[in-house]
Amino acid sequence: MAKGNAVERFMRATGKFRAVFGPANRSSLGHEMTEQNRRLLAMREAETQQWETVHRPDGSTYVVPRNPDDKSLR
């Protein structure tokens, strides 16, 4: 049997785990963003702009709306 690359050896060795947890994603991470993904990213960035993080003296944090009267994204 051919040894193959490290990914193929790993996939053969973990076959039983993949039956339970599902297959590994083998797609590339270095692809161009689609127009749909650009619009989604812009929408998510707009949503995050409406919140700010407040730090308590004990070190804990919580999130509050920047403008409590703005109900557009909630």
CB 21 within 8 Å of CB 27 = no
Q: Is the pLDDT of residue 74 over 60?
A: no
The model scores a pTM over 0.75: no
- DSSP output for 6-72: HHHHHHHHTHHHHHHH-PPP---S-PPPPHHHHHHHHHHHHHHTTEEEEE-TTS-EEEEESSTT--S
> Who has greater pLDDT, 66 or 57?
57
pLDDT score for 17: 72
pLDDT score for 56: 92
In this prediction, residue 71 has a pLDDT band, given cuts at 50, 70 and 90, of: low
